[in-house]
Amino acid sequence: MAAEADGSTAGGRPSAVRDRILATASDLFYRHGVHAVGVDLVVKESGIAKTSLYRHFGNKDTLIAAFLQEEDADFWRQWDAVADEHRDDPAAELEAHLAWIQARLRRPGYRGCPQLNVAAEFPAPDHPARQVAAAHKEEMRRRLSDIAGRMGLPEPKDVGAQLALALDGAFMSAPLGGGDQIAATLASTVHALLTAPRAQAESS
């Protein structure tokens, strides 16, 4: 299929130019923060014309939202790959999720959850990037609640919300240092949250 002058393809499929712009912007946004990265820097680092950036994304807000959508898709691809291996064992599934998330916390250059980082920079609830971030966190609570329900825990929605809060705390704390300790504390916190509902049910 013939490529257009700006690298796009007929039929509306993503182009190599769009991919390069988004990959460059995503790297810069994650490493430096969204407000610190201007369109001119994205253009310079990606080696494309500014008109191409605006042709593909319209404005910076749309580019930021696209960055978060890519991060969201990548996160859930990893989640789904783990979940597929443990469909009949929700407890093992949760442990496997915990393992890859702990590895994420320990990796060099980890700057935290991009959804939380961007939400902190854009307090307006109607900002498109903040809406992507909010939807990501709602999906996190839903998936964790589903696991808690399949484990037979009482009040699975409450447990899911508590687990999500523990994960978000780890995502925010790890960039400040001590990723190994944060990962270990996350594991102990998750296990305590899983034990508490059963203990309460048995004592009632």
pLDDT tens track for 164-188: 999 999 999 999 988 899 999 999 9
Whichever domain contains 132, its CATH number is: 1.10.357.10
Neighbour count for residue 193 (Cβ, 10 Å): 19
* pLDDT recorded at residue 38: 96
Residue range of the domain that includes 8: 1-58
How many Cα neighbours within 13 Å face the side chain of 121?
A: 20
Count other Cβ atoms within 10 Å, centred on residue 155: 15
Q: pLDDT above 70 covers what percent of the chain?
A: 89
User: Both tokens of residue 9?
Assistant: 């393809």
Give yes or no: residues 72 and 29 share one domain.
no
Question: Are 31 and 71 contained in the same domain?
Answer: no
- Same domain? For 49 and 70 the reply is no
Q: What are 116-161's pLDDT values in tens digits?
A: 999 999 999 999 999 999 999 999 999 999 999 999 999 999 999 9
Per the prediction, the chain carries an average pLDDT of 90
Query: Same domain, yes or no, for 54 and 70?
Result: no
Does 53 lie in the same domain as 115? no
Same domain, 144 and 102: yes
Q: Which of 23, 39, 58 is the last residue of a domain?
A: 58
Distance between CA 123 and CA 149 in Å, rounded? Answer: 33
The whole-model pTM stands at 0.86
CATH number for 14: 1.10.10.60
pLDDT over threshold 80, residue 91: yes
CA atoms of 23 and 10, how far apart (whole Å): 21
Q: Are residues 27 and 101 part of one domain?
A: no
Q: Give 21-44 pLDDT, tens digit per residue.
A: 999 999 999 999 999 999 999 999
Asked if 106 and 174 sit in the same domain, the reply is: yes
- With contact defined as beta carbons under 8 Å apart, do 171 and 86 qualify? no
- The pLDDT score that the predictor gives to residue 115 is 96
Residue 9 phi, psi (nearest 5): -120, 155
Residue 152 has a pLDDT of 94
Tokens representing residue 118 in the block: 């961007």
CA dihedral 26, 27, 33, 37 (to 10 degrees): -80
Are both 182 and 145 inside the same structural domain? yes
Do residues 91 and 137 share a domain? yes
Number of domains in the chain: 2
CB atoms within 10 A of CB 50: 12
Let me know whether 178 and 97 are in one domain: yes
- Nearest CA to 102 out of 192, 190, 182, 194 is that of 182
pLDDT in tens, 183-204: 999 999 999 999 876 656 555 5
Check residue 5 and give its pLDDT: 39
| 181 and 121 in a common domain | yes
Looking at 41, 58, 75, which one is the last position of a domain?
A: 58
